[in-house]
Each structure stands twice: as structure tokens, then as C-alpha cells.
Amino acid sequence: MSKTLSKVKTEGEMKKKRKVVPLDAMWKEDDAPLTHVDLEDLMPMPEPFEERPFTPLKTDVREKFEASLDGTLAVGIPKPKDKEEERKLIEKFLSGLEKLFQEENNWTFLQPLLLSMEHCARCQTCSDACHIFEASGYNELYRPTYRSEILRRLYYKYVKKGGLLSAFRAGEIKLNWKLIARLAELSYRCNLCRRCAQTCPMGVDNGLIAHELRKLFSQEMGIAAKEIHDKGSMLQLKVGSSTGMNPEVVKDNIQFIDEDTSEKTGLKIETPWDKAGAEVLLIHNAGEIMSWPENVGAFAVILTAAGVSWTMSSEIAAYDGINYGLWYDDFQLARVALLHAQAAKKLGVKKIVIGECGHANKALAVIADRVLAGELNVRRESAMTLLEDIVMSERLKLDPSRNDFPVTLHDPCNLVRLMGVVEPQRRILRKIAPKFREMEPHGVYNYCCGGGSGFAIMSGHNFMDWRSHVSGRKKLQQILNAFSDCKGPQTPKYVCAPCSNCKGQIRDMLAYYGMWEKERILYGGLVELIVNAMVDVKPGFIEWEWH
């Protein structure tokens, strides 16, 4: 079954037909989902987009897991065995709720959380900013304030202990296991992109609220998406990388990448390991090493050709910039950030440079400031600014005509809106890509790729369908619009996404909707475009093959 819904509905029509989910449905004691996104609800898309069906959850999955939110599973919380287990889970939730609002237990975000609890004017300005709310056809469940209202009511009732006054001030709430289970799933229907927070006149941050909920569930109840916890930060702390690579394996892989890159470029490339006193410790998202070795190779080419003194570290976690704790657990974030800083300190490097990975940049360069005190507060910098210095100072000989194809730029939320690294990558593209065009809107007003906050690596059950139909929809619309003047497979096109997670999501979206075959849209990083333009490199560094 396939169906094109292009240009069928106006925004006004979509809003009129939107699905309403009253807040009190959240504590309904039954297993039926509160809502479901149907194909006819979804935001229209430009041609040649074709709709795909939604996979329903299997009966045995519904029986085993709490799936009564929206018929989709991101976390997959097992149903409690009996009432006693339910009671214990509710107690744990209440204890976590209390801790969330205590200074000694929430040393990271208490102040903005309190502000967000107490100052919402309920004006709904934030709602129009949310790509998930819009793409879903303005389904009430995905309104940025929906989960916030639930937490706000719980806060007034159980933390501020307002009694009847709390119901009067904030609204009624009934705490039961169904509410908790639905709220946990709902905290994973937000990309934490904070586009909504940017528009709020009161400074309320609904993205932060979703984050704090995830934190409560993880830190207090052991509930988290397995891809970011068990297979993510836990694996990274144990073996060194969430990819599963230990130091020996990563060195082997990099050696292979060096050989391949040398052959491909005609330059002698050898990645330095554990070089004491180097200027730069380069930390990639290790997913690049596994999935996009050309990105890792391109970094090595640029740093070598520009004469930068650099190194990688083979210490546990120091060769993997991933820090999934950013999305769900402050303790996990702190543990990984400490390993990164300790490795830099041990080598005595001047600074850490974080590769093309938005969340790794924000975790280490910004949020880790709360953790890295004293001598561990090593200088940290995004690769974007280092690359800008290299390209703009003419340290590389570049021929932009080698990039003579349409290029657009995706702004990773963590790097751009949430860190303010907006222009360096653009200045580079304006210099090396003559057919560069912006998406609209862009910069700090960008839309999330739909893979933010861990979604890019989460595909269990039917979540891949949800993140393709809903969270990634706006970005795909933007990509297709950016290339509307060169439609068709006869023109190869390039989406530059300088972030590993965004790249993964964009790859999955393009593949899910067949956009390589239909439109020849390829995706990749920024460094590949730079190397592709280097005169001293054999032509054709970017290979126009789907991967």
C-alpha cells in the first residue's frame, strides 16, 4: 500500500481535525492505546514522497509490555507481575519525583526545572514550534506542554504538597501505574531539541522537562531505552565504546581506515595514538569508525595536511565521544565525561577537539562543565571551529569545482541551537561548495532531524515507523524542498550533516522512503566535502554509492 498525501490538507484543516487526548486519559486503567497516528493525520509532504504503512505491535508484545500510550514502543516497559510490584514501582516513582526537586540530588538542572514548573502561562506559543506535534497532524498527545502538564500537576500535589489547592492551581491528577508507564513512554516522544523552549516567552523548557522525566525513570527506577543505556553508556563504560570496540579493535580499525584513505587519496596517512603533549586530542563518535570510515579518514587527511599536532587516545572511552547520558541520566553523563577529561589530562594535550557529533559536543563542551572541576577542566572545542581556521587560513589547496553538485546543510540541534556553533560550517561550505543552498528555516531555527535524543539508534518493535512517519518527517520535507530545483535521479545531491546521530537518522529516512533511488540524495559529513575539494587529493573522494 502506498499513498501520496501531498498538498491535500492546509494547516488549518489539520488543526481542526487533530486528535484530542484529554489529560485524564493518562491514568485510565486499561490497555487500549490513548491515540494512534494514522496516515491520513500526517503532515503533507512534497513529491515524490510516498506514504508507507505503519506496523502495528504484535499481540504478544502488547501482552508483555506497557503499550497503552500510542500503540508504539520506544522503551518497552514490562508489565508488573502483580499489584505488589505495581505498588513498589509507584513508591520508587514518588521517591524519584522528590529527588528531582532537591538541590543535593539534582545538581544539574534544578533551577531551570523549577522555572519550567512554575511559570508556564499556557499560551501554547511553543506548540507551533514542535516538529513532532506538527508532523503528527497536531495530535494532542505530542503537544510540547502535554507531558509537562502531567509533571506539573504531580509537582504541585506531591512535592509542593498543595492538597486541594494544588488541584485548583495546577489541575487534577491521579497517580497510578498506568500514568507512570505512559509518562515514561511519552518522555521518549520528544527529541529534546528545545525548539519549543526557544519560542517560549516565559523561558519554560518543555524539552528539559522530557529530559528530567527520563532522568527520574533511569536514575530511580532503572527504566531507560536499552539502546542508549544497556547497549549504550553501560557498554561504553565497560569496554570503551558503545560500538563494542575495545582499544585493540579500535586501533585495528583505524589502521585499516588509514590504509584505505592513503590508497584513495594518494597521501600517506597514519593516525597518531597516545602522543603525549600533542596540541589536539581528537575524539570521534566511534559510530563513525564503524559506519562512516570515510569521515574518520577525512579528518586524518585534513589534520595531517594542515600540519596540526594531533593524536587519538586508546584509553577506555577516550576514543569514543558518544555520551548518551546527556539524554537520560546525569550520572552516566558524568562518568563518561570524566573518562574523556582524564585521558586528555594524562596525555597533556592542549585541548580536546570533538568530531562531527552534536550530542558529544554538547555533552563534553557544555554540560560537562558541571562535572569537570579544577585541573580536569581541559579546554574543549568543536571540530567546526578548528576546521574553519584551517580552511579560511588557506592551509589547504582547495578547488570548489570538485564539489559541483547541490549541497544543503542540516543543523544538528545540539551543536547549533544549543551551543551557538552556527557560522563556521557555513563559511566553509560557501567557500568549497558552489551549489550550497540553505534549508528553510535554518541555523538556530532549524528543525531536528528526528533522530535526536537517541531516536537515531532506536528501532525496536515498531519505533522505526514512528520516527520515520512522525519525528523525522519535518526534516525530510525540508530536504526535499531544498532540492526542489533539481528533482530527479539525474542530479546527485548531498545533505551535509556534521553529526553522527543526525547522519544515521537522515540515512534511515532516505532509505525508508527510497530517496536514493528516486532522487539520488546522498548524505555525509563536512570533512568529506573538504577533502573532496582538496587539490592534492586524487579526485572523487566522495563516492556516489548508497551506504
Q: Which residues bind ligand SF4 (CB under 6 A)?
A: 120-126, 129-130, 132, 144-145, 190-196, 200, 202, 204, 206-207, 210
Q: Kindly state the cell numbers that stand for 519.
A: 532522487
- Backbone angles phi and psi of 235, in degrees to 5: -65, -40
User: Least distance to ligand SF4 from the beta carbon of 521, Å?
Assistant: 24
CA distance 327 to 359: 9
Report the nearest approach of ligand SF4 to the CB of residue 451 (Å): 11
We find the least distance from the C-beta atom of residue 129 to ligand SF4, in angstroms, to be 5
The nearer residue to ligand SF4, 380 or 417, going by C-beta atoms, is 417
Closer Cβ to ligand SF4, 310 or 455, answer by number: 455
In the bound state with ligand SF4, the residue whose beta carbon lies nearer, of 214 and 380, is 214
Q: Which residue is nearest to ligand SF4 (CB)?
A: 207
Q: Output the smallest distance, CB 206 to ligand SF4, in A.
A: 5
What's the min distance (Å) between Cβ of 477 and ligand SF4?
15
Report the residue count for the chain: 547
Give whichever of 83 and 122 is closer to ligand SF4, judged by the CB atom. Answer: 122
d(CA 144, CA 205): 9
DSSP character for 307? T
Identity of the residue, 428 or 449, whose beta carbon is nearer to ligand SF4 in the bound complex? 449
| Maximum separation of any 2 CA atoms in the chain, in Å | 75
Measured from the CB atom, the residue of 236 and 446 that comes closer to ligand SF4 is 446
Q: From the CB of 231, what's the least distance to ligand SF4, in Å?
A: 23
Nearer to ligand SF4, 194 or 475 (CB): 194
- The CB-of-441 to ligand SF4 minimum distance in angstroms stands at 13
Q: What is the dihedral of CA 341, 103, 205, 17, to 10 degrees?
A: 120
Q: Shortest gap between Cβ of 245 and ligand SF4 (angstroms)?
A: 31
Burial group, residue 423, by CB count within 10 angstroms (0-12, 13-18, 19+): middle
CB of 375 to ligand SF4, least distance (A): 35
Q: Of the candidates 420, 411, 403, which has an alpha carbon nearest to the alpha carbon of residue 497?
A: 411
Q: Which is nearest to 41 in space by CA: 31, 33, 51, 49?
A: 51
| Residue 265 Cβ vs ligand SF4, minimum distance, rounded to whole Å | 39
| Residue 79 vs residues 53, 68, 177, 447: alpha-carbon distances, Å | 27, 11, 10, 35
Say if residues 464 and 472 touch (Cβ distance below 8 Å): no
Phi, psi of 61 (to 5 degrees): -70, -45
Select 186 or 235, whichever has its Cβ closest to ligand SF4. 186
**Nearer Cβ to ligand SF4, position 68 or 145?**
145
Cβ atoms 74, 189 nearer than 8 A: yes
Give CA angle at 503 (312, 421), nearest 5°. Answer: 70
For ligand SF4, give the closer residue by CB, 130 or 499.
130
Phi-psi region of 411 (alpha: psi -120 to 50; beta: other; left: phi over 0): beta
- Nearer Cβ to ligand SF4 (190/429): 190
Nearest to 281 by CA among 386, 152, 129, 140: 386
Helix (H/G/I), strand (E/B), else coil: 101: coil
Task: Please name the residue that has the C-alpha cell 509537582.
Answer: 155
Q: Which amino acid is at 317?
A: A
Which residues touch 26 (CB under 8 Å, ≥6 apart)?
A: 34, 150, 178, 179, 182, 183
Q: How far is the CB of 111 from ligand SF4 (least distance, A)?
A: 16
